[in-house]
Amino acid sequence: MKYITLFSSLVILIFSGCQKDEPLQYQVVIMLYKQNPYGEISECKLDNQKAYCLSQLVYDGGTSVYNESGDKIGTCNYAWGPVDAICSKLNNCEVIYRAKNNILNLPFIDKYGLSR
């Protein structure tokens, strides 16, 4: 019985340690999805940290940039004049969510199952 309890405790520690940094980032992605379920969310790198871009899927729509904590840190809208300097520092961007049937006819993407 002693070994079963020890083994169970070890399994719980292992699985709880594996998911340590994911919840905050996933919460940020959920927050962005709730802000605009008809838009597009990209996961990018900004100075070796994650950043998220929430874009409106409309012509001349802008993009808001958020840090990995979910704080808005910039805006990129090339249609309406100068953009924040942060826009040129984003790299390795990957679209993780894009709404179905969007006006731009871009394919639907839902990497994390947000629309379920």
Q: How does residue 11 score in pLDDT terms, banded at 50, 70 and 90?
A: very low
Residue found by looking up tokens 């020890």 in the block = 6
Does 12 score more than 80 pLDDT? no
Question: Poorest-confidence range of 5-14, 23-32, 38-47, 78-87?
Answer: 5-14
Count of beta carbons in the 10 Å neighbourhood of residue 110: 15
Which residues, 6 or more positions from 105, have their beta carbon under 8 angstroms from its beta carbon?
none
